Amino acid sequence: AAAGGRCLGVGMEVTDPESVRIAFEEVEAQAGRAPDIVVNNAGVTITKPAIDLTPQEWSSVIDTNLTGCFTVAQAAARRMRAQGGGGSIVNIASILGRRVAGMVAPYAASKAGLIQLTKALALEWARDGIRVNALAPGYIETDLNRDFFASEAGQRMVKRIPQRRLGRVTDLDGPLLLLCSDASAYMTGSVLDVDGGHLLSTL
């Protein structure tokens, strides 16, 4: 807003297709057009042994992280196509979509599915000029995990990252802006890993 832009907050429940539809209609009514850029960033997790997961717990993660992202992407693409095509959809995946960790089976499965979904949608929507890419962060320090990573167990995990540090939220800015902008005009179906080399480390 300080630079002359306009901000609009719109509530959306990504697991409810009707809520998604209403949110997009509200954005269009306020902005006068469909969004050119959509970032799918809704995500939840449950830390629990797979053998103890209930069907409801499994579904809550898959419904938000995978089905919810599809619902939002589909709604966005329909509107982008209707206004002549073009646009960028960025799905926030995770390096746990590429390798696994214990106690987060539904999260890892949802993010692996999101990576494949990204590629499938990129293939289908390329002719409409709609690009679909994914960003796969590694361990990023936030208020939610800061105490854990300060612990002995957390420090052992950090030592397995080749750069020997956690990511900062700002480390995601450049890759995300790349995927949102025309600087990535020839990229679709790509997955950008931002993990300090974590995927290169040994199990």
Longest dimension (CA), the chain: 54
- Out of 43, 88, 89, 107, the active site residue is 107
Neighbours of 11 (CB within 10 A): 8
**What token pair was written down for 40?**
């799918």
If you write DSSP's letter for every residue of 78-147 in order, what string do you get?
A: HHHHHTTS-EEEEEE--GGGTS--TT-HHHHHHHHHHHHHHHHHHHHHGGGTEEEEEEEE--B--TTTHH
CA distances 193 to 38, 64, 124, 137, Å, are 19, 21, 23, 6
- Sheet of 37-40, strands arranged across: 37-40, 87-92, 130-137, 191-194
**What is the sign, positive or negative, of the torsion defined by CA atoms of 179, 64, 9, 78?**
positive
**What token pair was written down for 146?**
């800061």
Identify whether 186 is a catalytic site residue.
no
DSSP letter, residue 145: T
- Would you name the residues annotated as active-site residues? 107
